[in-house]
Structure 1
Amino acid sequence: MERDPARVVAFSDGVIAIAITLLVLEIHPPRDTSHLLHDLVALWPSYLVYVVTFMLIGQVWVNHHIMFDHVRSADRVVLFFNTVLLMDVAFLPFAASVLAEAFRDGHGQRTAVVLHGVAFAFLAVLFNVIWWHVRRRRLLAASLEPAGVAAIGRRFRLAVAWLATGTLIGGVLPVLGVAVIAAFIPYYWLPIAGEIARVKRRRGRGNQT
């Protein structure tokens, strides 16, 4: 049985929206306002983790749409792995809270970075599993050319390597590990060249006519 992926995307959007909103609730305001400015500045790890995690979840949302824009139908395997993906997304506010707390306290930073990195690396693995399955079962729309399929696949595989590298580094050098993971953000907002190749060609033919 194959299903319209629109409902999968709608449900996923809801879960991602809730998870990304919950991030701000992990920034707890100071209880004592006698030294408010100092105490607000001291929350810098929470601000940093909030920005990094928010942008990473934003990328999860963008790449989820990129993937399902090209899926013409979803079978039970896609539904299962997408559910696991959303379960991981819902876990991210907790991982972000642990990371911020560790940097504020100065203890357990290696473990916190690894927990945060593993959560995102597992998401990257799930993206690859879903993409591999829809390719193998021919569930992709015919409008996506082989070059686009390969380009998206390369982007998803690179995500696993990048996040895994940052996680491993974070297990030794926490600050550097977070920096490597954060460097993932600007690169992944770039468009996937192979995915838009057909659009460019169509525009070129239209201009010629």
Structure 2
Amino acid sequence: MLKTARLEAFSDGVFAIAITLLVIEIKVPEDTAHLAEQLRHLWPSYLGYVISFLVIGLIWANHHAMFDHIASADRMLLFLNTLLLLLVALIPFTAGVLASALRNHEGERTAVVLYGAVLVAGGLPFNAIWEYARRGHRLLGDTISPAEARAISRRFLLGPVLYGAGTALGAVLPVLGIIAFALLIPFYWLPPQMSRLTAKSA
């Protein structure tokens, strides 16, 4: 078994780079003679930046909370975590595609579905990390009980389902998908109600 310190440090680095790359999509206007108008035209980039910054920050926060309870790692856990980071690193690209489609008023549906698909796909290794670690309490420490681990599992499992629903809405009407992604941010930023969830699982 391995300590998780290096895994967490590497993950934090990837999260930090991905979240920083988002600002590159916001291009500095060249036509400063009409600067206010040019800045207004960048609204799709602002939107993609804010949503994606909060989404990556959210994934990082939940990843951090998850590893508060994971005491050790093995090669399989390292692999699952690498898959998660692979998809996190894709978010700046999908944010740029989304901003470009909104700015050009073309391909919005495809861009929203692509964005949502990456979020759904990212939820799979995230859940796999937790499920692998908690089965038989194999990699968890004594900071959490099996009942609490199951409660967190149910909350995590909702992620791909809800993002999948948002993606499906976006395939019908792109603006609905964007609204769904935005509304899921505060939902998952809220701390889990551990006592209530645990009570339900008892």
Asked whether the two chains share a fold, i.e. TM above 0.5, the reply is yes
In the TM superposition, residue 101 of structure 1 has moved relative to its aligned partner by 0.4
TM-score, L = length of structure 2: 0.93
1:120-139: CA deviations, max 9, x gaps? 11111111111111122511
Q: Which residue of 2 aligns with 1:93?
A: 92
Whether 1:186 and 2:186 are equivalent positions in the alignment is: yes
Q: Which runs of 4+ in 1 moved over 6 A?
A: 195-198
Shift of 1:197: 9.1
* Residue type of the alignment partner of 1:73: S
In the TM superposition, residue 187 of structure 1 has moved relative to its aligned partner by 0.9
Extract unaligned runs of 5+ from structure 1. 199-209
Paired position in structure 2 for 1:109: 108
Segments of structure 2 that go 5 or more residues without pairing to the other structure are: none
CA distance in 2, matches of 1:197, 1:43: 42
- 1:1-209 equivalent positions in 2, closer than 5 A: 2-136=1-135, 138-194=138-194
CA RMSD of aligned residues (A): 1.6
Contact 2:49 2:95 in 1 (8 A): yes
Rounded to whole Å, the distance in 2 between the matches of 1:12 and 1:196 is 30
Alpha-carbon shift at residue 196 of structure 1 (Å): 10
Partner of 1:207: none
TM-score (norm. length: structure 1): 0.90
Which deviations, in whole Å up to 9, do the C-alpha atoms of 1:38-78 show, x marking residues without a partner?
11001111101110010000000001011111111101110
In structure 2, C-alpha distance between the alignment counterparts of 1:42 and 1:77, rounded to whole Å? 46
CA contact (8 A) 2:123 2:160 kept: yes
Please state how far the C-alpha of 1:194 moved relative to its aligned partner.
1.6
What CA distance in whole angstroms lies between the structure 2 residues aligned with 1:184 and 1:17? 21
Aligned partner letter, 2:88: V
> Which amino acid in structure 2 is aligned with residue 187 of structure 1?
F
Q: What is the CA deviation profile of residues 101-130 of structure 1, one whole-angstrom value per residue up to 9, with x for unaligned ones?
A: 000000000110011111111111111111
Q: State the one-letter code of the partner of 2:153.
A: G
Equivalent pair of 2:108/2:174 in contact (CA under 8 Å):
yes
Is the 1:4–1:74 contact (alpha carbons within 8 Å) kept by the matching residues of 2? yes
Q: Secondary structure at the match of 1:171?
A: helix
Shift of the 187–197 alpha-carbon distance from structure 1 to 2, 3 Å rule, reads: closer
Q: Does the 8 Å CA contact 2:151/2:197 hold for their aligned counterparts?
A: no
Residue identity in the other structure for 2:148: G
For 2:67, the aligned partner's letter is F
Q: Distance in 2 between matches of 1:58 and 1:154?
A: 21
Distance 1:29 1:102 in 2: 18
Alpha-carbon distance in 1 for matches of 2:164, 2:31: 40
Q: Which moved more, 1:145-154 or 1:48-57?
A: 145-154
**How far off its partner does 1:195 sit?**
7.3
Identity %: 53
The code of the aligned residue for 1:171 comes to A
User: Matches of 1:4 and 1:196 in 2, distance apart?
Assistant: 31
